[in-house]
Amino acid sequence: MIVYAPGVMTSNIDKAKNNGSFISKSKFLCGLQCHKFLWHACNAKDLVPQPDEATQAIFGQGHEVGALAKRMFPDGVEVGCGILDLDETIRLTQDAIKLRKPLFEGAFSAGGGYCRVDILRPAPNEAWDIIEVKSTTSLKDVHLDDLAFQSWVLTNAGLKIRDCYLCHINSDFVRRGEIDPKKFFVLKDVTAQVAILSRRVGDKLNGMFNTIRQPNPPDIKIGSHCDAPYTCPLHDQCWSFLPEHNVLDLCRGTKKGFDLLDKGVTLLRDIPASIELTDNQAIQKAAAISGKPQVNTQAISDFLSRLVYPLHYLDFETFATAIPMFDGVRPYQQIPFQFSLHIVRSSEAKPEHVMFLAEGRNDPRPEFMHKLRAAIGHTGSVVAFNAPFELSRLKECGEVLPDFSARVKGIECRIVDLLDPFKAFDYYHPDQQGSASMKAVLPALTGRSYKNLAIQEGGAASREFLRVTFGAVKDAERQKVRKQLEQYCGQDTEGMIWIADALRQAI
Ligand code: SF4
């Protein structure tokens, strides 16, 4: 039985080299998404934007999760740590494989494909199991393609593969002290699905090599594949031909939008009357034709009548980490660390502002709830934008901090969601471009935006808080970022006051 076949591996390396290059696992996955993306990733890397901060943060979490998974195999051997040279990592793997121990990051190449395997576990009869570690809480189709590529490469490199596993995070896990990786992860046997997909890897690789050897990128139209399984880094470039108020803004109308583009209809206002639209899509078309907001004055008036003074405009900022930082917390559970509260006591009163931003590295929730309880009054509406988010955080805090549960119930029945009139399209401004998010609604209605702020969205707020709270940063930097966080969260609640005022003026 051949477990390790250096001759096979070497001959395939040479063959692939003669063919021009290898296709790595990540490029193979690019190619499955779109051959134009693959062509750029191989031939015009400088035209592919670098991962943004949000993506880098996801990579960072992935590395932490990967390190935790390795702890399931205390006798595991790390292969070629920090070595990027492809031939060298393959050579080191050939040596390490003889040990018959779990291998981390073993490198293999065959038939023009190259991959490093998260964990390779020895199995009976000189075989091996492939274990791919993911920081998700469930299995996704792209994970199976990922494993199929690895299985194909390793099999062609002469290894006998017994089983393939996806090792993903157990969403039911709750931290209690030191994390046991065997409880934190779920090992899902996906051997059968991977076997089916592996059969097609060779043909797909050949097709990809044909594409990357062309002098120019293939002419591929934009489509739903641009955002699945991931948003393509070339999205902005490929979609830049679209003018404002185009058919891809159609609310819940992605397929319809692409069909219209295929028929040569680009602008919302040019959609023929023969095309069936939903009520909300018809409102979008009417707004695009008139260039003016579409307002259901009765519905807006009814909504505003639900706002009872004193008005409490409330917004939370949260962070969520794959590996829970505190006891009693699940993977990716949202932990509130900041709130902004603007209180407007009467129609003539000036807004009063109260803010909380956690300090130190302890679980911020007890102090968060303590400060919120002290700041928020017992009467009047509590207004949030996309209120279920704030409400869920309050309920979670009420569950782990029973002292606050009665107060949470009191707030719950006073909550009004400022998103409601926009979600229902009772107010729709053409500049919202099909979105009811705060970041779309605020500039469309008030002309104000987040562009002048250093922190412009919740994801950045979360990353910056984690960086300056748990990272090694100088105090001056920490204070600067904390100011920026206060400005950002403060604008969210002040922005809600501006939006409510704009709605009042619209009726
Ligand atoms: S944006 Fe879409 S069409 Fe353009 S390269 Fe990416 S996936 Fe392909």
Q: Read out DSSP for 353-421?
A: EEEEE--SSS-SHHHHHHHHHHHS-SSS-EEETTHHHHHHHHHHHHHH-GGGHHHHHHHHTTEEETTHH
Nearest CA-CA partner of 37 in 298, 188, 206, 237: 237
Please tell me the number of Cα atoms within 13 Å of 49 on its side-chain side: 13
Alpha helices in 105-180 (DSSP H): 141-156
Report in angstroms the alpha-carbon separations of 467 from 213, 257, 319.
42, 40, 11
Find the mean pLDDT for residues 8-14.
35
Q: Which of 35, 36, 240 to mutate to test the pocket of ligand 1 (most atoms within 8 A of CB)?
A: 36
pLDDT exceeds cutoff 50 at 11: no
Nearest CA to ligand 1 atom 4: 238
Query: Which pLDDT band, with edges at 50, 70 and 90, does 21 fall under?
Result: confident
413 compared with 5, residue with greater pLDDT: 413
Give the atom of ligand 1 at the shortest distance from the alpha carbon of 35.
Answer: 8
For 369-407, what is each residue's pLDDT tens digit? 999 999 999 999 999 999 999 999 999 999 999 999 999
Decide: 325 and 331 in contact? Cβ < 8 Å.
no
Q: How far apart are CA 446 and CA 340, in angstroms?
A: 20
Decide: 118 and 25 in contact? Cβ < 8 Å.
no
297-305 vs 475-506: helix crossing angle, rounded to 10:
120
Lowest mean pLDDT among 262-266, 305-309, 449-453: 449-453
Give residue 212's pLDDT. 96
pTM of this prediction? 0.90
Q: How far apart are CA 22 and CA 15, in angstroms?
A: 10
Give the atom of ligand 1 at the shortest distance from the alpha carbon of 33.
Answer: 7
* Binding site membership of 35 for ligand 1 (Cβ less than 6 Å): no
Distance 242 CA to ligand 1 centre (A): 14
* Binding site membership of 232 for ligand 1 (Cβ less than 6 Å): yes
232 compared with 19, residue with greater pLDDT: 232
* Binding site membership of 42 for ligand 1 (Cβ less than 6 Å): no
Nearest CA to ligand 1 atom 2: 226
* Binding site membership of 36 for ligand 1 (Cβ less than 6 Å): yes
For 42-82, what is each residue's pLDDT tens digit? 999 999 999 888 888 888 999 999 999 999 999 999 998 88
* Binding site membership of 23 for ligand 1 (Cβ less than 6 Å): no
* Binding site membership of 220 for ligand 1 (Cβ less than 6 Å): yes
Amino acid at 431: D
Give residue 18's pLDDT. 37
Give residue 183's pLDDT. 98
Query: Which pLDDT band, with edges at 50, 70 and 90, does 123 fall under?
Result: very high
* Binding site membership of 261 for ligand 1 (Cβ less than 6 Å): no
Question: How does the average pLDDT of the chain come out, rounded?
Answer: 94
1 compared with 486, residue with greater pLDDT: 486
pLDDT exceeds cutoff 50 at 15: no
Query: Which pLDDT band, with edges at 50, 70 and 90, does 85 fall under?
Result: confident
- DSSP sequence for 221-259: ---GGGGSSS--TTHHHHHTTPPSSBGGGSTT-HHHHHH
Give residue 386's pLDDT. 98
For 166-215, what is each residue's pLDDT tens digit? 999 999 999 999 999 999 999 999 999 999 999 999 999 999 999 999 99
Nearest CA-CA partner of 187 in 69, 330, 104: 69
For 179-189, what is each residue's pLDDT tens digit? 999 999 999 99
Q: How far apart are CA 368 and CA 108, in angstroms?
A: 50
Decide: 127 and 162 in contact? Cβ < 8 Å.
yes
Q: How far apart are CA 250 and CA 242, in angstroms?
A: 13
Nearest CA to ligand 1 atom 7: 226
Give residue 86's pLDDT. 86
Q: Which of 42, 231, 235, 258 to mutate to test the pocket of ligand 1 (most atoms within 8 A of CB)?
A: 235
pLDDT exceeds cutoff 60 at 3: no
pLDDT exceeds cutoff 60 at 9: no
For 422-443, what is each residue's pLDDT tens digit? 999 999 999 999 999 999 999 9
Distance 241 CA to ligand 1 centre (A): 13
* Binding site membership of 37 for ligand 1 (Cβ less than 6 Å): yes
Give residue 82's pLDDT. 81
For 243-283, what is each residue's pLDDT tens digit? 999 999 999 999 999 999 999 999 999 999 999 999 999 99
* Binding site membership of 238 for ligand 1 (Cβ less than 6 Å): yes
Q: How far apart are CA 433 and CA 108, in angstroms?
A: 47
Q: Which of 29, 34, 211, 227 to mutate to test the pocket of ligand 1 (most atoms within 8 A of CB)?
A: 34
